[in-house]
Each structure stands twice: as C-alpha cells, then as structure tokens.
Amino acid sequence: MPVDRAGRFHQGAAGRLRRLIYAYPRHAYLRAKYGGALPFSIAKSLPKLLVIVAIAVVAVDARAAQAPSAEKPVAAYAFTFDTLLADAKRRAGAPYAPQRSSLPAVLDKLSPEQYRSIQFNPDAGIWRAEELPFRLELLRARQNLQSTVTVSIVENGMATDIVPTPGMFEMAPALPAQLGKVSLPLSGFRLRSHINSKKIWDEFLVFQGASYFRAVAQNLLYGLSARGLAINTAEPSGEEFPVFTHFWIEQPGKHANSIVIYALLESESATGAYRFTVQPGVETLTDVDLTLFPRSEIRVVGIAPLTSMFLFDETNRGRLDDYRPEVHDSDGLMIESRSGERIFRQLANPIKLQVSSFTTEAPQGFGLVQRSREQSDFQDFDARYERRPSAWVEPQGEWGAGGVELVEIPSGRETNDNVVAFWRPVQPLVPGHPAHFAYRIIWCAEPAQPKSLGKTVATRSGASLDGKRRVFLLDFVGAGEKVDGLHLDLSASAGKISNATLMSNSALHGLRASFDVDPRDAELIELRLRIMRGDRPVTETWLYRWTSS
C-alpha cells in the first residue's frame, strides 16, 4: 500500500506502543495482546510508560485520538477437540441457519480500490513480539461480503476470540477518518514462518473463503487449493459450498515445528469438526482429522478435495490464442492404487463438462501435480507457473469402497479454477451416522516416485498429415534410454491404433513412445499406455481421454 513517509512513521510509533504492551507480564488480557484496547487494570500499573508513549503516538497520528475507548475484555472459555466435536454434532440436529453478514456502512461506501488498500498491519501480527516460530495475521472480509469468520487463540486449554480493531489494519490517509472507529469483519487468516530463510517470515498457509485453504513449501508459490469438503460437485442440481465459520489456533511452543488449527464447518447438508496439524518446510505437511455430521442424506460427497486450474498445454495449444506455450497450475492427476500401480492422467480443458472415476477402493495416494518445471515451459515471468506446488493426499485408516473422481470444467480464463479431484465414497452419508476421515496432504514440487519407475514428462498431440488420425508423442524419464527388451502395453476403448513405436530420446536420457489413433465414429476414447519389460512395468501408466469436440 503506497503511503507517505509521515504515514510510515505513524505506523512505526503505534507498533512500538504495541510492542511495549506485549512485553508487559503475561497476565495481560489476550485481547490487549492481539491488538485490542489495553484493559484499565494494566494501564493503572503502567501510568508513566503508557502516558509518555501514548502522547508520542497522538502527536504523530491524529487519528489515534479518535480510537474507540476500552471495552470489556473478551472472556476465555475451555476448548478441546472434543468440545468442538460435541458442538458440531449439536448443530447438525438443528436446521441450517446461514450467516447474514453485512459490512459496516462506512466500509460499504468505499470504492473497490479504497477497500483493497486496507491491509493487515504486520506490526499487529499475533506472536510477533514473542519468540515463537510462527506468526498469525488476520484477513479482512472481502467487499462482496458473503460470510465472516471468527478466529480464536487456544492457550493451555483456554480459548479467547480475537476481536478485530482498527489498529490491526493499515489505512491510507485519504480514507475517511471514521474508519478509525470501525471494527473490520474477518474472512480468514494466514500463517508465516521461516521456510526459505531465517531472516524472512514467509507466508506458507492461508484459510480464506468457504472451506478453501492453500499452502506452499520451500521455494514454491501459491497455486492449487484444498477444501474441507465438496458436496454435489458437477451435479445438475448445483454444487453446495460448505463454509468454515470458526477457527481455533493453538499457540505454539518456542521450539514447535508444527501448528494446530481447529475449524467448525457448516452447510445446509452437514456440519463438521476439523483438526489440521501443519508442518511447513521443504515439504509442507498437513494432517487432517475430521468428523462429519450429516443433516440430510448426501449422495455426492468429496473427501480431501483439491481444486486447480488447467487452461492449455501441448495437447490443446491450438484452441487458444496465447503467446505462452502452457498455462496451468497443475498438469496431471496422479494416483497410486491399492495394488501399487502408479497412474498419471493428463489433465484437459474440455469443450463439455467431463467427470472421470478411477479405482474402486481407497488408493494409497492421489493428487494434482505440476510436472512442467522449466521457465521455458510457460514463458511467463509474472505468473511463474513452474513454481506452483503439487498436492498429494495420503488416506489414513480405512476409507471403505469408493473412487477418485476427477471433474474437468470448460474454461477460457486462467483466473478460473476448473479442475477438481476428490475421493467419493460409494455409500452416501446419512443423518445420525457420523463419518470420520483422516489423511495427510503433502504440498511439494512433486510427490516421490519409485526410482525404478519411469514417469511421463511430456504429452503432445496433433493431426496426422492426412488429417484422418490423431498422433500422440509421449516422453518418459527414469526408465533409462535403451529400448532393448522393452515393449508398449497400449490400448484404446474405441477407434483403431496404428504406428505404435518406442524409441530412445537421448536429449532427455529417456524414452519416447508414439502412436496414431483413428477415431472412426467414436466421440470419446480412453487411451492407456505403459512401457513394459516382459510382464513388469518400467513406467507409470499414462491415461488420456480424447474427445471429438
């Protein structure tokens, strides 16, 4: 946010006052510690210090004189995961009552540019003044407000709700002075830690909007998102978007390498109690433990849903007029089946909505991955798609019968998330029967691959010279480059395959497979290929859905 030099000085003085308050003994109310007004009992014991610093702040920032007077401190209350489970179960027994939120009048009158200029003040970061390995920052609600969230801190089994105050946010001098008296509603939060440098507090996790959250690992940028729950995705009746309405965040210890977040989920069809244990680093690990309490029968439910964007790559480059070779956050769905088969399904941006299902039982893992890792793959210095993370889900415990489902939605804009992947149980969720699931999400450059198994690094497709067939070229690495003793295991659900060839690709120190497909009258063809040595696969199984449109 652009501010003049005087404006920066004002923020620095206010920040110094907050740091002095934070440094005072720990019996200070949590509300004061998180940016609220200092309780009178504390102020009384620090008359000289506070008067001197407060006068300095008033002298450099007239708006501070208009700040609201101290209010009663927020009461702490006992909190555990068990109390959250009980609350979610209780709520499921009552009809859904969606939030009816609205912005304060002075905020509703701001222009979009003015509203975007209001940002969280880093000096008000929770735990900033304490020697803790994590920092928490609050996110104001969006101007097109649909719902707000409550964020609470848990310390020694006691929770305190954070009440946002004007001092928590930076505001340009040109904004109305009344904003200094307005409490901004919240839409979520973000967490920072040292994952790339001990000198920099990197943002590594954000929860914001419905049940969405995103994370990054070392040297990566934000890309795809995860969700708490998906309901009726791609159904004609329309998708239902559950919402996290309340978060409780445990204060970490001084030597903690992970942080624990609890969340209450609500929707028309269900409530849920969630516990996230997040450990940032070279790979960022998110362990999720959840119990759902259905309000009504849910037939199409998505567990561990991932959401991403795929606009185009070499397989559909000709459809879109763009200077870049590829545009996507993810380029494939990866699955490790219960039997150990590794599957890579190339993503698509179809003309019509596509839904695909894989496996009949819970896999060892699945995820949306980004394999294009060179800047030259995208030629986009701003978006840096080559640094977007992959997300790999590992189910914990018994999930029962079901399948990994992939939804691909037509899109003409890279700002639209048009790919969704999740686990869909065979049995519907029904009221009176809580459903428990646990899993780990690994945010990384790419999920680990067995060293003995080659992987697909490029898929290319185009018309044959006579225009009657589709030509496919696949490049594999990790299985060597010698073709002696190898053969293709290749099949198509329709049409006719011809000219199947396997050759060495010395440029990649790998292998290249190529083949033609004559669709004939088929409108959809499922293609499957892997490279074999005898009856043993030496590469993962490549899958592709071709459509006539």
pLDDT in tens, 4-54: 323 322 333 333 323 322 332 333 323 333 333 333 333 333 333 333 333
Buried b (16+ CB within 10 A) or exposed e, 125-161: bbbbbeebbbbbbbbbbbeebebbbebbbbeeeebbb
Pairing between strand 354-358 and 402-408? Answer: antiparallel
Residues 6+ apart with CB under 8 A from 454: 476, 477, 478, 479, 480, 510, 511, 531, 538, 539, 540
123 or 393, greater pLDDT: 393
Give the pLDDT score at 239: 97
Domains of the chain: 5-261 (2.70.98.10), 277-444 (2.70.98.10), 455-547 (2.60.40.10)
Both tokens of residue 331? 């380029």
Side-chain half-sphere of 254: how many Cα atoms within 13 Å? 3
pLDDT at 58 over 90: no
Give the pLDDT band of residue 194 (cuts 50, 70, 90). very high
Residue 1's CB: how many other CB atoms inside 10 A?
10
Q: Are 147 and 245 in contact (CB under 8 A)?
A: yes
pTM for this model (two decimals): 0.86
Using a pLDDT cut of 70, give the percent of the chain over it: 86
The string of pLDDT tens digits covering residues 380-418 is 999 999 999 999 999 999 999 999 999 999 999 999 999
Give the pLDDT score at 117: 86
The string of pLDDT tens digits covering residues 426-464 is 999 999 999 999 999 999 999 999 988 999 999 999 999
Please tell me whether residue 275 adopts helix, strand or coil conformation: strand
Q: Are 523 and 548 in contact (CB under 8 A)?
A: yes
257 or 122, greater pLDDT: 257
Compute, in degrees rounded to 10, the torsion defined by CA atoms 73, 75, 76, 80.
-140
Give the pLDDT band of residue 223 (cuts 50, 70, 90). very high
The string of pLDDT tens digits covering residues 258-311 is 999 999 999 999 999 999 999 999 999 999 999 999 999 999 999 999 999 999
Residues 6+ apart with CB under 8 A from 403: 357, 358, 359, 360, 423, 424, 426
Q: Measure Cα distances from 146 to 243, 305, 325 in Å.
A: 10, 22, 37
Give the pLDDT score at 141: 85
Closest CA to 246 of 226, 273, 269, 221: 273
H-run or E-run covering 394: strand 390-396
Buried b (16+ CB within 10 A) or exposed e, 430-459: eeeebbebbbbbbbbbebeeeeebbbbbbb
Fill in the DSSP letter of residue 132: -
Using a pLDDT cut of 90, give the percent of the chain over it: 72
Mean pLDDT (the chain) is 86
The string of pLDDT tens digits covering residues 97-106 is 987 777 777 7
